[in-house]
Structure 1
Amino acid sequence: MRRPWRKGGVPRAGARRQRMSEGRLYLLAGPAVSLVVACVFLLVWLHHRKRSYVPFFAVAFCAYAMAALSQLFQIPAGVGLNTMVSGLVYTFGIFCLVQGVLARFGKAGAAPVLAAVSVAILGLLYYFMYVDRSLVARIYVQNFGYGVMFLFAAVEIFGASGRRKVDRILFWVFLLFGLHFFVRTVLTLSISPDLFALDRMRTEGADARTIGLLFRRSPFWQVLNFSLLVSGLLVALALLGAIAVDAMDELERQGRIDPLTGLANRRGFDDLAQELIADKTSHPQSLVYFDIDRFKGINDGFGHATGDLVLATVGGLVARVVMPRDVAARRGGEEFVVLLASTSARSAFHFAERMRAELRRTSFPMLPPGAVVTASFGVAERRPDEDLADLLHRADQLVYAAKHAGRDLVLTDDGVLAVPVVGQGAG
């Protein structure tokens, strides 16, 4: 009897074990990479806690690794139990990944839809495992179900407002990743005829190892693991890129925001105001410029900390009265400006008068009881082809004139004055 040796002195049984070992090492690449990616997302979140959507990504990639390892090592044992447990963890991972991306875009209402799709996937897995057993049906259910979840995310991303280049990249990544579940499944199953016979072989008492070997050698399984490894890395890179862009945007935003009032600073106002001026649909535009009266006296008499609280309170008042398209800012010191969209000089005058009266009525607990804070206002409607610097200069001159006219006034281009209620200002 011939000994089972291969050419070169390697036993055939040993060669088979070597091939299986190499195959298992190849299959371990996906879970290993996913765990590394999950750790990266976790570290990113630990350094940027404000990005509340990042933990979703860490959990998603960790869940994929756990589900893949569950299938690879058959933990828990038993085909039915392993199918349901790994399916549950896979589905949970996809849910977290999609929910994290949609949370980044502020799509808070997407969770019920994703949960419904997830429940449907798990329900059908159970049906085709224990009621009408069919491996091919389970393959279709999981892959098509996950494809639907990714396509849903792509549609939601496409409908998000203010999409940037990185958002368009995420849209295409999720769209193509979702479509790949459909295309890959159909094509690989068409060249994996053995999979259609595995359920029959199992019911006829075929050896479980033989069935497992046929499944792992199928083109479907090989392409599945390779495609998920590559596409998973692409998704991870796209998400990390989006997080990096978000961080840079946050730094830029902080450079355009006055930290004391939460309004735009001088730089932020100039940038946003130029964008608004360029928008023809926002014409006519008017500028409201105001300066807190005798603010130096507040700083000198009660301290700069009190002065800062007064500025923050005034900033909160401005933020409450402006509309989303308007541009409000603290330009420096005690000076505030509001560029009003689609607002004539007369409407801007009434806006400024309401704000002047509201400021006079505002309570400032950091000041002595009965103290009143007032401001002097200048209102100028933007002229055709007038640039921002000239508009600011005109409104500033009106503020100067209002100061000299007695303070706590609103002065416009045509000299209209809002006569204040008789009272003593605090500053």
Structure 2
Amino acid sequence: MLHDAGRFLALVNPAIALLLALCFLFAWHHERTRPHLLQLGACYLLAAAAIGLQVLWPPRAGGGPATIAGALYLGSAALLLHGMLARIGARPDRCAGVALPLALFGMVAWFDLVHPSLVARIYVLNVGVALILLPGVASLAPLRTGRTVDRVLLWVFVVFALQFLPRTLLALAPGTAHDAAALLPTPCWLWLQATLALLLLALGLALLAATAQDVIDDLRHERDTDPLTQLHTRRSLEALAARQIPPRPGEKLSVLLCDLDYFKFINDNYGHSAGDAVLTQVGRIIAAGIRRRDIAARLGGEEFVVLLPDTPHEAALQLAERLRQTLEQTSMDVLPGMGNVTASFGVATLRPGEDLEALLMRADNVLYAAKNNGRNCVEWEREAGVPALV
């Protein structure tokens, strides 16, 4: 019974690793902008080869297959570390990424080909893999405050790395330390194989889930972000505004509309590429001039909007004037002879029972008044009793 279970588990582990490798390689084939998927696919491919090699040629006192299997295991660990860090834009240091795996490989080869010792190889491989992976935990620490899938991935990775330390002692249980064949039928060996299969699967699934969430978030960001200005789109603005309207009791919510002056003249005389460059720079100016909780969007063409949570009318007017002055004083290199552009602003504050559409309509009315009053100015609803800016 134990022998049959051992044979089954011996085949399950490389099968799981191979299946996960194919999943990562398939994902990389469709997402070439994510090179970490190729590294993770190669990681699981090497792991499948290493486990399969040990099934076909069990470790013995000297010979060579153990050296090859050791190289595959160490390479798999190094690729796992590289893939995990590459996903978040980090890189392992040279010691953990290159020097340590090479040193460990040298030790495995020594205790296989020169001074054969199964005990030493088990220590080197298990402790070595843990030493390769665990330093990466510090670089992966930002995942603790990330999305749920990132937090789960971090802890699965930590458990996966740590389990190689107790595996060393369990693998060297009495009666098996010097006889590799004795490992196969024992309950201890079966437990080690079962836990390895579960952890290989859990880590692979966590990585695939995180990758799927990355793709979804990127698609959502692409949908909700204007490609020229990197501000929100109107659709994104409406979704975010739904969380702010109505505002909390005692808070005011204001909005400012901004429309570039004579933008058609820019497109007609300098070309649409120059117009796009102007829009890009205006987007940067707006993004740099507002708070993190404010919501800036491009409504279309040369019109922008900033939704201002917890902002009374006077504060919104002051922000609009600051943005107007910054824009007026900013030189546009793509407009030789013109130098800079100006914009007209309309400011409105949410009334009780009003929705976003009604608020934007009132702001658009005062923006139209700013255009009629000579452009390059800030207008507001004067019946609100707000004093003029000085």
TM-score by length of 2: 0.75
The one-letter code sitting in structure 2 at the alignment partner of 1:337 is V
CA–CA distance in structure 2, aligned partners of residues 277 and 162 of structure 1? 27
CA separation of 1:142 and 1:382: change in aligned 2, threshold 3 A:
farther
Residue of 31, 49, 56 corresponding to 2:39: 56
| 1:299-322 deviation line (CA, Å, top 9, x unaligned) | 455555554443233223323434
Instruction: Identify the residue that residue 252 of structure 1 maps to in structure 2.
Output: 220
CA separation of 1:269 and 1:297: change in aligned 2, threshold 3 A:
same
Kept after mapping to 1: 8 A contact 2:171/2:189: no
Residues 1:194 and 2:162 are matched in the alignment? no
Residues 1:30 and 2:13 are matched in the alignment? yes
Residues 1:163 and 2:147 are matched in the alignment? yes
The one-letter code sitting in structure 2 at the alignment partner of 1:193 is P
Residue of 241, 244, 249 corresponding to 2:209: 241
Residue of 304, 322, 327 corresponding to 1:336: 304
CA–CA distance in structure 1, aligned partners of residues 95 and 241 of structure 2? 40
CA–CA distance in structure 1, aligned partners of residues 349 and 210 of structure 2? 40
Q: Highest CA radius of gyration, 1 or 2?
A: 1
Residues 1:319 and 2:287 are matched in the alignment? yes
CA separation of 1:101 and 1:352: change in aligned 2, threshold 3 A:
same
Gaps of 5+ in 1: 1-18, 199-210, 419-427
Of stretches 305-314 and 133-142 in structure 1, the one that deviates more from structure 2 is: 133-142
The DSSP-based 3-state class of the residue aligned with 1:194 is coil
Superposed, which structure 2 residues align to 1:211-222 within 5 Å?
211-222=179-190
The DSSP-based 3-state class of the residue aligned with 1:338 is strand
Of stretches 74-83 and 40-49 in structure 1, the one that deviates more from structure 2 is: 74-83
CA separation of 1:240 and 1:349: change in aligned 2, threshold 3 A:
same
The DSSP-based 3-state class of the residue aligned with 1:193 is coil
CA–CA distance in structure 1, aligned partners of residues 212 and 233 of structure 2? 24
CA–CA distance in structure 1, aligned partners of residues 218 and 354 of structure 2? 32
Displacement of 1:61 in angstroms is: 0.9
Root-mean-square deviation (Å): 4.6
Q: Kindly, what percent of the aligned residue pairs are identical?
A: 39
CA–CA distance in structure 2, aligned partners of residues 49 and 120 of structure 1? 27
Displacement of 1:113 in angstroms is: 10
Instruction: Identify the residue that residue 239 of structure 2 maps to in structure 1.
Output: 271
CA separation of 1:313 and 1:279: change in aligned 2, threshold 3 A:
same
Gaps of 5+ in 2: none
| 1:255-287 deviation line (CA, Å, top 9, x unaligned) | 212223221100111223444668969x66543
CA–CA distance in structure 2, aligned partners of residues 387 and 162 of structure 1? 32
The one-letter code sitting in structure 2 at the alignment partner of 1:60 is C
Of stretches 77-86 and 404-413 in structure 1, the one that deviates more from structure 2 is: 77-86
CA separation of 1:122 and 1:347: change in aligned 2, threshold 3 A:
farther
Higher-RCO chain (CA-CA 8 Å, sequence separation at least 6) = 2
CA–CA distance in structure 2, aligned partners of residues 385 and 232 of structure 1? 55
| 1:381-404 deviation line (CA, Å, top 9, x unaligned) | 556786544443443333222112
Residues 1:65 and 2:38 are matched in the alignment? no
Displacement of 1:407 in angstroms is: 0.6
The DSSP-based 3-state class of the residue aligned with 1:315 is helix
CA–CA distance in structure 2, aligned partners of residues 328 and 98 of structure 1? 38
Displacement of 1:334 in angstroms is: 1.7
Residue of 416, 423, 426 corresponding to 2:388: 416
CA separation of 1:147 and 1:387: change in aligned 2, threshold 3 A:
farther
Instruction: Identify the residue that residue 196 of structure 2 maps to in structure 1.
Output: 228
Displacement of 1:64 in angstroms is: 1.5
CA–CA distance in structure 1, aligned partners of residues 180 and 207 of structure 2? 35
Kept after mapping to 2: 8 A contact 1:154/1:175: no
Residues 1:351 and 2:334 are matched in the alignment? no
Residues 1:115 and 2:99 are matched in the alignment? no
Kept after mapping to 1: 8 A contact 2:233/2:298: yes
CA separation of 1:375 and 1:220: change in aligned 2, threshold 3 A:
same
The one-letter code sitting in structure 1 at the alignment partner of 2:321 is E
The DSSP-based 3-state class of the residue aligned with 2:176 is helix
